[in-house]
Amino acid sequence: MHSLNVALGARSYPIIIGSRLLGDAQYLLPSIRGRQVCVVTNETVAPLYLARLLDGLPGFDKVDVVELPDGESYKTLNTVNRIFDVLLEKRHNRTTTLIALGGGVVGDMCGFAAACYQRGVDFIQVPTTLLALVDSSVGGKTGVNHPLGKNMIGAFYQPRLVLADTDTLATLPDREFSAGVAEVIKYGLICDAPFFHWLEANMDALLQRDAAILAYAVDRCCRDKAAVVASDERESGRRAILNFGHTFGHAIETVQGYGVWLHGEAVAAGMVLALELSLLCGSINNNLLERLRSLLRKARLPQRPPAEMTVVDFLQAMELDKKVVNGRLRLVVLKSLGEARVADDTPREKVIEALKNCGV
């Protein structure tokens, strides 16, 4: 077990990473300030890990559980309202702590509910997917989807603790695990060239979920993300590099309908498009694109966008994305391996050319 700190002044919090953490009261209790707790989870994760989590919460006056339906298509305001219903029916007050037990969908909704309930109550992230362990549980972005765009309704709201128990990954379906690997690869590309090299050497062991390899990768990603978030909590600048591949990826998710392609799968194809664009902007060479494709192939992730999507589909969806500023597309491109920059001057023609080069 070891611990990292996300350095955000008064909003700083630890990320505790390791195995056998769930169910051990010493990790959760120091971060719970009141006498009330509400665990938010879903119908898939509850039978697997809820009992173990509750073992780590002895002696509370009130522990309630909200079990949500499973799926990205339920990441909506309506579903968040079910959390409010329970909190109000069971008379939770401003001293309550919400605990998100699950993947990014549960974490994003629980965090948003915590940001809004009685204008803000404490919350803790207990991520159970690879994507949530390395990405969504850290950094304080919370929210839900709207039929017209992904993550369009939300708030920046930091948890008080991230409890990252790598044992939970044992039950994660392969396809979900691979989707998380897309975000893992992203850190190497945007800010950590040595980690990219490490992934090239260790991808097979990572996919076999070797415990030591997994712990190393989770730790490295959380460190990279914590450093970026600490430098720019609300995405006024540098934090945007974490969106590498995401503007293209969100277009894929929006046009296909949420949940058809997994978030990580869309990000995988989106990173190929973003790298293709970087190539056209003249900063990187072809060889890096090949190396990315090879890692994605090993991880059984898509290397190109869905065949049925057109250039118009992409442009329309991308222009609705949050990354449009004053009518210009803001896209993240690579300057070199491990170094990303936000470009708000990318000509549309270059974006179209990148799409066409990837078979759109």
- Closer CB to ligand NAD, residue 127 or residue 305? 127
Contact 285, 279 (CB under 8 A): yes
- Closer CB to ligand NAD, residue 22 or residue 275? 22
Q: Which of 125, 129, 178, 243 touches ligand NAD (CB under 6 A)?
A: 129
Per CB under 6 A, 168 contacts ligand NAD: yes
Q: Outline where the chain has alpha helix (H).
A: 25-28, 45, 51-55, 77-89, 104-116, 130-131, 174-191, 193-207, 211-231, 246-256, 263-280, 286-298, 311-320, 348-357
Per CB under 6 A, 224 contacts ligand NAD: no
Per CB under 6 A, 1 contacts ligand NAD: no
Residue position matching structure tokens 């769930």? 22
Contact 75, 100 (CB under 8 A): no
Beta strand 122-127 with 141-146 is: unpaired
Q: Which of 64, 135, 165, 235 touches ligand NAD (CB under 6 A)?
A: 135
- Closer CB to ligand NAD, residue 44 or residue 97? 44
Q: What is the DSSP code string of 60-112?
A: -SEEEEEEEPPSGGG-SHHHHHHHHHHHHHTT--TT-EEEEEESHHHHHHHHH
Contact 46, 194 (CB under 8 A): no
Q: How far apart are CA 56 and CA 29, in angstroms?
A: 8
* CA nearest to 252, candidates 348, 136, 355, 142: 355
Q: How far apart are CA 9 and CA 341, in angstroms?
A: 26
Site string for ligand NAD, 259-298 (x = CB under 6 A): ----x-----------------------------------
In Å, what is the CA distance from 110 to each residue of 79, 101, 114, 155? 10, 9, 6, 11
Tell me the number of residues near ligand NAD by CB under 6 A. Answer: 28
Output DSSP code: residue 124.
E
Q: Which of 67, 80, 96, 103 touches ligand NAD (CB under 6 A)?
A: 103
Q: How far apart are CA 360 and CA 354, in angstroms?
A: 9
Per CB under 6 A, 70 contacts ligand NAD: yes
* Nearest distance, CB of residue 101 and ligand NAD, angstroms: 9
- Closer CB to ligand NAD, residue 42 or residue 247? 42
Per CB under 6 A, 249 contacts ligand NAD: no
Per CB under 6 A, 232 contacts ligand NAD: no
- Closer CB to ligand NAD, residue 219 or residue 288? 219
Per CB under 6 A, 179 contacts ligand NAD: yes
* Nearest distance, CB of residue 258 and ligand NAD, angstroms: 8
Q: Which of 18, 56, 102, 188 touches ligand NAD (CB under 6 A)?
A: 102
Q: What is the DSSP code string of 248-266?
A: HHHHHHHHH-TTSS-HHHH
- Judged by CB under 6 A, the chain residues 49 through 68 that form the site for ligand NAD are none
Stretch of 10-18, 42-50, 302-310, 318-326 contacting ligand NAD, by CB under 6 A: 42-50
Site string for ligand NAD, 138-167 (x = CB under 6 A): -x-x---------x----------------
* CA nearest to 232, candidates 240, 221, 224: 240
* Nearest distance, CB of residue 348 and ligand NAD, angstroms: 26
The residues that are catalytic are: 119, 141, 183, 225, 235, 239, 243, 246, 250, 263
Q: Which residues here bind ligand NAD, judged by CB under 6 A?
A: 42, 44-45, 48, 70, 72, 75, 102-106, 108, 128-129, 131-132, 135-136, 139, 141, 151, 168, 171-172, 176, 179, 263
